[in-house]
Structure 1
Amino acid sequence: KVVYIYLKQLEEAEVVVINKMETISEADLNHLIDRLDSEYPGKKVMAISAREGTGLESWLRHIQASEPLSETAMDVDYELYAEGEALLGWLNATVELKSTAAFNGNEWIKDIALKLQQQLKSNSAEVAHLKMTLSPNKGLDDIAVINLVRNDFIPELSQELPEDITEGQVIINLRAEANPTLLKQAVIEAIQQMETDHPQVKGTLDHVEHFRPGKPEPTYRLSEAVDS
């Protein structure tokens, strides 16, 4: 059911962009592009590497030069779509950090991401999306950013802090196939584990919201797109 949502998103897209092209072989990449061309004829399929910068200019030029297409509205099974959405728990949280001594924020955010990943795996909660940022409260405009998109992947720092910090704010955005209450508990336990492993750093859960998206109830359902 979650796959149904994903496939509908591909069906709706005018441009399909494959990121992280550097992580697979050229043969596998070409096979993926051919498969997308076959399954979704007429769509623009592009491959990029956001980390290495490959293909970004072509993608941006295409966006700037393209006009939105007017197409027939998708046929959506709203019951199935709602069931798929209901499988995903959502969590947004803010954690305030204070330390008695300067510490490596990059290592801290990487460690808590690994602990949170382990908490979720131990509860058979498949991660759909985890993004965490760490912003220093003083002195730096930079932030550390870490991402995880699957349980069997390693959390990856896409942006790092240039120096140690003494306090900051962590923002957690998490989606996983689990009860939202379980996601909240996993975050709380990960913070507690961090205080055991990094006793000089105090983490306080300042704000948390956890929920499941409501069932989509469209007021109108178009049979075809209409030009304005």
Structure 2
Amino acid sequence: MNLHLISGFLGSGKTTAIQTACKALMEQGLSVGVITNDQGIKLVDTGFFESHSIPNRQVINGCFCCNYNALDKNIQSLIQTNNPEVIFAESVGSCTDIVATVMKPLLQFRKDVTVTVSTFADVRLLQMLFVEKKNLFNKEVQYIYTKQLEEAGVIVVSKIDLVNEETLNSVQRFLQDQYPGRKIIYINGTSDESTTQWLNVITNRTNHFIPSSLDIDYSIYGAGEAMLAWLDAELKIESDINDAQQTAIQLAQLIYNTIQKEGLTIGHLKFLIDNTIKISYTASEDDSALNEIYNSGSSSILINARIQTTPAFLSSLIHEAVQQTEKENNCVIVKEGFASFRPGYPTPTHRITV
């Protein structure tokens, strides 16, 4: 069985590429599975994979490295239930040191799997951070981003369809200069052909190719994670005029606009409406693509926000957006679940450095 670990910063296009890859593999008659991961407990990405009928599990309340036993349990559950030939395990976007804490333990304890590591990076964010040298994140957060690239088995530069040739060339020059000899591929994660290129690369990788473990300062790593506020909310919108789904979309856009107005840097901001419409915003831009909207008297909306701010301030912004939406649309919005917090200090279950 092939197990592909997918790392990369928040909003780097991991989920989209995995979904496209799963679709391509299933069309070839191969069985697949996905394991999602987050510091929270209710994930937009899990609902997204379920909406595409892709077998999935999730590791919650912490990253793969700090919940290795849960990851292993979910791998076994997928094997017993679906017997996948390929599993994609998508780590939370603020996680690094995945080679030492996840890949090498898997290779040591699971002799039945071939393991690869791909690190995704949004081409636009690479341009902003390293070519234009914009200070989007605090230095501790950017430390995590840089360490993810440093340990990559394969660097997957995503969303190349969203930039011009000049931007792509400047990012290519930067990566070739900073990571000489590294396998780097450039993809559009929504394209079957482009994603197949990535699949071909990682499928040909074997357990004989194991990236080096990171030399990493966990005090800086932990501080970087603590600078990001996590917010998960489950809302129910009730409308007497059957426009609840449109109201949910307006709420998502209002939350994004409010965060932008406050000048806060977005890791990722994801919304799943009625388990069918996914809206995503990142530090680099709006990545949303809306499906057809239906008239309905009620609508559900799941929010995953990872923003560089405090949990209290992020919560206040969301509450204010909800109240404004209720007033402007003459609807009722019920909070069925709401949590905002900072990630805990990373404490890996295993760490193999040799």
The two structures have a TM-score, normalised by structure 1, of: 0.83
Alignment-derived partner of residue 229 in structure 2: 89
1:173 alignment partner, SS class? strand
1:147 to 258, 280, 288: 280
Residue 11 of structure 1: how far off its partner (Å): 1.4
* Larger CA deviation: 158-167 vs 208-217: 158-167
Greater percentage in strand: 1
Distance change >3 Å, CA 186–CA 14, structure 1 → 2: same
Residue 42 of structure 1: how far off its partner (Å): 3.2
Alignment-derived partner of residue 168 in structure 1: 299
Q: Distance in 2 between matches of 1:158 and 1:202?
A: 26
In the alignment, structure 1 segments of 5+ residues that lack a partner are 136-141
Contact 2:152 2:211 (C-alpha < 8 Å) held by counterparts: no
Contact 2:236 2:336 (C-alpha < 8 Å) held by counterparts: yes
Matched, 1:102 2:242: yes
Alignment-derived partner of residue 138 in structure 1: none
Alignment-derived partner of residue 35 in structure 2: none
Q: Distance in 1 between matches of 2:287 and 2:196?
A: 24
Distance change >3 Å, CA 66–CA 219, structure 1 → 2: closer
Across the two proteins, how many residue pairs are aligned to each other?
214
Alignment-derived partner of residue 333 in structure 2: 203
Matched, 1:12 2:120: no
1:132 alignment partner, SS class? strand
Contact 1:143 1:161 (C-alpha < 8 Å) held by counterparts: no
2:156 alignment partner, SS class? strand
**Fraction of identical pairs, as percent:** 28
Matched, 1:177 2:308: yes
Greater percentage in helix: 2
Q: Distance in 1 between matches of 2:317 and 2:150?
A: 34
2:211 alignment partner, SS class? coil
Amino acid at match of 2:238: K
Distance change >3 Å, CA 59–CA 120, structure 1 → 2: same
Amino acid at match of 2:211: E
1:79 to 199, 208, 219: 219
1:115-142 residue CA offsets vs partner (Å, 9 max, x unmatched):
212332444422111010101xxxxxx6
Q: Distance in 1 between matches of 2:296 and 2:204?
A: 43
Contact 1:98 1:168 (C-alpha < 8 Å) held by counterparts: yes
Distance change >3 Å, CA 204–CA 26, structure 1 → 2: same
Higher relative contact order, structure no. (Cα contacts within 8 Å, ≥ 6 residues apart): 1
Amino acid at match of 1:12: E
Contact 2:151 2:211 (C-alpha < 8 Å) held by counterparts: no
The two structures have a TM-score, normalised by structure 2, of: 0.55
Contact 1:22 1:49 (C-alpha < 8 Å) held by counterparts: yes
Q: Superposition RMSD on alpha carbons, in Å?
A: 2.2
